[in-house]
Chains A and B, each alone.
Chain A
Amino acid sequence: MTARILTFSSHGDTTLFEYDPATADMDEVNRMIAEYEAKTGAQPFDMATGDRISKVTKEQHEVLMVHPIAGG
């Protein structure tokens, strides 16, 4: 089963990358997520629970990177 990291963008939902949780190096997955957060400010949310997560594990199969919001 494939897991995926996605985000919302100008073009709607966009898959950032996919991996097989059974074989993937989760440290590498989390490193890529950290890089994306550093660049965009987006933080990971588990799409199964709606909760923000600090680290992605093999149990999460769909993770949404939620971008920052500004007030006005």
Chain B
Amino acid sequence: MESEGLFLLPFLALTLWRFVFTGMEWGWPVGGIDALRPRQNDLLWQRLPVDRSGLAVVADQRAQNYLRRIVALTGATHKGNCWFLDVDKTQFCVRSGHVTRLRDVTDPRRACEETCFYPAYKDMPKAEQIATALLQLKNNPALFDRWAVERSLAFKADGQVFTRTQ
């Protein structure tokens, strides 16, 4: 019986040695070049905005902050991809490049109308485009009709036509 135990001892020692050293290999905290190489699965590394698409990401984050402020100022609410804005009995749904007018929120037979809108700077961050439309509609809801009907013209916030020659 004792001789059988002695026979198994080297086998057990070898198994223990492999287990311990294999574990150490995964557990060592520093390791030359690997330690210096950026790790693509590192969450912190992925979250650095300048590492991915540079300043555009920073501009987008700032634009989102402005949109949040303007949503609060205008009393708009955000649901899905739509920002709902109430002006008197009219409700607007502002999305990227589109506005839908729900003529009377208290009337179940209300008519829906939709139009596109384009800001002066076409490359403006989407959040700022939406913020611009929210501010303008809150102050002057009649702008919707002008955007819908006089499609080739640009309108200032007060409803006046803007031409480059001004």
The residue that A8 contacts in the complex, of B131, B147, B148, with Cβ under 8 A, is B131
Taking a contact as CB atoms under 8 Å apart, the answer to whether A12 and B128 are in contact is yes
Q: Mark A12-54, 1 if CB is under 8 A from B, else 0.
A: 1100000000000000000000000110111101010111100
The reply to whether the CB of B104 lies closer than 8 angstroms to some CB of chain A is no
**In the bound complex, do residue A70 and residue B138 qualify as a contact, i.e. CB atoms below 8 Å apart?**
no
Please indicate the chain B residues that have their CB under 8 angstroms from the CB of A40 in the complex: 120
Q: Give the residues in chain B near A12, CB-CB below 8 Å.
A: 58-60, 62-63, 124-125, 128
Partner of A11, one of B59, B66, B118, B166: B59
Q: Is the CB of B135 within 8 A of A70?
A: no
Assuming the contacts A9-B124, A10-B123, A12-B59, asked whether A69 and B70 have C-beta atoms less than 8 A apart, the reply is: no
A43 touching B121 by the CB < 8 A rule?
no
* Nearest neighbor of A40 in chain B, beta-carbon distance: B120
A8 touches B128 (CB 8 A): yes
Is A55 at the interface (CB under 8 A from chain B)?
no
0 or 1 for each of B56-90: is its CB under 8 Å from A? (1 = yes): 00111011001001100110000000000000000
Do B120 and A71 touch (CB < 8 A)?
Answer: no
Q: Is B2 an interface residue (CB 8 A)?
A: no
Q: In the complex the two chains form, what is the Cα distance from A22 to B165 in whole Å?
A: 35
CA A3 to CA B155, docked complex, whole Å: 27
> What residues of A have a CB within 8 angstroms of the CB of B151 in the complex?
70-72
CA distance A11 to B121 in the complex (A): 9
Interface residues, chain B, with chain A CB atoms under 8 Å away: 55, 58-60, 62-63, 66, 69-70, 73-74, 115-125, 128, 131-133, 135-136, 138-140, 143, 146-158, 162, 166
